[in-house]
Amino acid sequence: MTAKNSCVDLDGKKYNRILLICVLLVGSFCAILNHAMLATALPDIMKELKVDAANGQWLASGFLLINGIMIPIAALLMSKVSSRFLYIIAMMFFLLGTLLSAAAHQFPVLLAGRMIQAAGTGIMIPLTETIFLLVFPKEKRGFAMGLDGLVIALGRAVGLTLSGWVVDNYHWRVLFYLLIPVSLFVLVIACLTIRRIIPLTHSKIDYLSIVLSSIGFGGLLYGFSSVGNHGWTDVNVVMGLAIGTVITILFIWRQLKIKEPIVNLKVFRSPLFSLSVVVGGTIMTAMIGAELVLPLYLQNSRGESAFFSGLVIMPGAIVMGLMSPVTGIIFDKIGVRNLAIAGMCLLTIGTIPFMFLTMSTTYGFMIVLYAVRFFGISMVMMPMTTAGMNTLPDTLMSDGIAVNNTMRTIVGSIGTSILISVMSNVTKTELPEKNMFGSDPTLYNVLKTDAVLNGVNAAFMVAVSFCLLTLALTFFIKERHIKHRIQ
């Protein structure tokens, strides 16, 4: 153990910072691997469990929603529970959800397993980021968060291709079987290496706020997710959105009024932090939504294997992984504004051609464009997050991470459900009548393929609108915002 990497925890005991970071990164890799594997496996899961895209997407958007709801709860738990014990509990939840998912033979059971996994991930990710920001000095946080971005991208790259290979050669449940020993390994190593890093303040938990946030965000997600099956004017959609909006407003009002809110909205006094939250949410939508839509197009429309669809997406994830530490170093030297504008330009340019996919679009063209998209994301996601967090004092660090991750995840889950709902709704509207198959099967198949393609293109049109909105927002980043630190 070198003196440079030797640190002292809250109990006054020395620990190796590099070893601690490595363990946390392995845990993050496991969580991201789990989420990424679903993208290429989803078409096969939908076929076996007999669910459509509008319902199947709940395995992704529902996961993100529970994840988002748990993040502010995790921030409260950080103030009341030892960071070491909390991390171990998170890994135990993740392992339990993995076991249940592996044993699932019905869609509701698999969904329940994913929700339990999400609860563990919702604690693990913000806990990891908080520890990262506390054990590294401010001038090295860009590089530290870049390492986290590298592991996230690596998890996505491995998850997408591993998932495709497993689904093509074995069964999608094998994906969860593979996660079980990895989760056990992380759990055992965490028991030996994780230390108490985060100071405890013993904040009071407001249970009503937890209920309001769950109902509010859940209602919004349910409303947007139901569009694919019922259309925008259906009573389920309207009621879901209306109830979700009202309850979410009540939740926000309560956070402003009570003494110890579960989401400390004081962090929004920082203009740059506020921008980083919005940008992070829209990027999550563009990233995760595309990861679900593209494999559906490749497997259902083009008839490609799950492994092949993973290979198409993998280079983009690798590019993001390689660039994340680099952009972290660049951020530490030049700041975030120029990085964010350039990155959003690349993401927007790389997404626009996906609005015009056809049955003859070359795979090389898609691979290059997807890599361009993720190159842009690597220039925006972690630098914006780090810049926003750097404007907060250490006393608001855990609150900032909770708010950032909560809003980013929930906006991402709702945005993803919007993309899938638009795709499903357009496809359903343009599908030919089933009786045409008997009279002219050739024309029926052509029209069916066109309907699916139009649905995919419509989803990417929505993704482009998110990209354009975010690009416009990056021009509002000012140097004075970067230098301003709220108290």
The pLDDT-based confidence of 343 (bands split at 50, 70, 90) is very high
Q: Is the per-residue pLDDT at 481 higher than 60? A: no
Average pLDDT, the chain: 81
The answer to whether the beta carbons of residues 379 and 326 sit under 8 Å apart is no
pLDDT over threshold 60, residue 480: no
Residue pair 140/4 in contact (Cβ under 8 Å)? The answer is: no
Give the whole-angstrom CA distance, residue 46 versus residue 67.
Answer: 22
Report how far residue 484's alpha carbon sits from residue 159's, in angstroms, rounded to the nearest whole number. Answer: 39
pLDDT of residue 327: 81
The answer, yes or no, to whether residue 127 has pLDDT greater than 80, is yes
89: confidence class by pLDDT, cuts 50, 70, 90? very high
Q: 317: helix, coil or strand?
A: helix
Task: Pick the more confident residue, 194 or 304.
Answer: 304
Q: Domain extents for the chain?
A: 15-205+262-483, 206-261
Using one digit for the tens of pLDDT, what is the confidence trace for 431-443? 887 777 677 777 7
Beta bridge partners of residue 14, listed in sequence order: 8
What's the whole-number mean pLDDT along residues 144-165? Answer: 75
State residue 104 phi and psi, 5-degree precision.
-70, 135
pLDDT band with cut points at 50, 70 and 90 for residue 145 = low
CATH label, 15-205+262-483, candidates 3.20.20.370, 3.40.50.720, 1.25.40.10, 1.20.1250.20: 1.20.1250.20
Q: Check residue 392 and give its pLDDT.
A: 82
Q: What is the pLDDT of residue 486?
A: 53
Encode pLDDT of 377-428 as tens digits: 888 887 888 888 888 877 777 678 778 877 777 777 777 778 877 888 888 8
Give the integer Cα–Cα distance in Å for 31 and 23. Answer: 13
pLDDT of 284 above 90: no
- Residue 300 is given by DSSP the state I
CA distance 64 to 430: 30
Whether residue 352 has pLDDT greater than 90: yes
Question: If pLDDT is split at 50, 70 and 90, which confidence band does 278 have?
Answer: confident
Burial of 26 (0-12, 13-18, 19+ CB in 10 A): middle
Let me know: does 119 contact 66? Beta carbons within 8 Å: yes
Q: Rounded distance, CA 19 to CA 144, Å?
A: 14
Indicate the range of 205-209, 343-347, 451-455 predicted with least confidence. Answer: 205-209
Interatomic CA distance for residues 56 and 42, integer angstroms = 7
pLDDT reported for residue 428: 82
Asked if 287 and 377 count as a contact pair (C-beta separation under 8 A), the reply is yes
pLDDT of the residue at 143: 67
Most confident of 11-25, 179-193, 256-270, 409-423: 179-193
Give me the residue label for tokens 């089933």.
Answer: 434
Query: What Å distances lie between residue 79 and 76, 204, 261, 288, 395, CA to CA?
Result: 5, 9, 13, 31, 11
- In this structure, which amino acid lies at residue 205? I
Joined tokens for residue 108: 């509701």
pLDDT of residue 344: 93
What tokens appear for 467 in the block? Answer: 């990209």
CA 306, CA 58: separation in Å to the nearest integer? 19
Q: Is the pLDDT of residue 1 over 50?
A: no
Give whichever of 143-147, 153-157, 168-172 has the largest mean pLDDT. 168-172
* pLDDT computed for residue 3 by the predictor: 47
**Residue closest to 178 by CA, chosen among 34, 60, 29:** 34
- 41-45, 432-436, 463-467, 468-472: segment of lowest average pLDDT: 432-436
Q: For residues 415 and 123, which has the higher predicted lDDT (pLDDT)? A: 123
pLDDT at position 225, please?
67
pLDDT exceeds cutoff 80 at 325:
no
pLDDT tier, 202 (very low <50, low <70, confident <90, very high otherwise): low
Alpha-carbon distance of 143 to 8, in angstroms, equals 21
CB 87 within 8 A of CB 27: yes
Token readout for 420 is 């899938």
The burial of 447, by beta-carbon neighbours within 10 Å (0-12 exposed, 13-18 middle, 19 or more buried), is given as middle
Give mean pLDDT, residues 106-110.
91
Specify the amino acid at residue 448.
K
Tally Cβ neighbours within 10 Å of residue 1.
Answer: 12
Q: To the nearest whole percent, how much of the chain has pLDDT over 70?
A: 90
Token pair belonging to 272: 């740059």
Taking 70 as the threshold, does the pLDDT of residue 2 lie above it?
Answer: no
Q: How many CB atoms lie within 10 A of CB 211?
A: 12
Q: For helices 271-296 and 441-474, what crossing angle results, to 10°?
A: 160
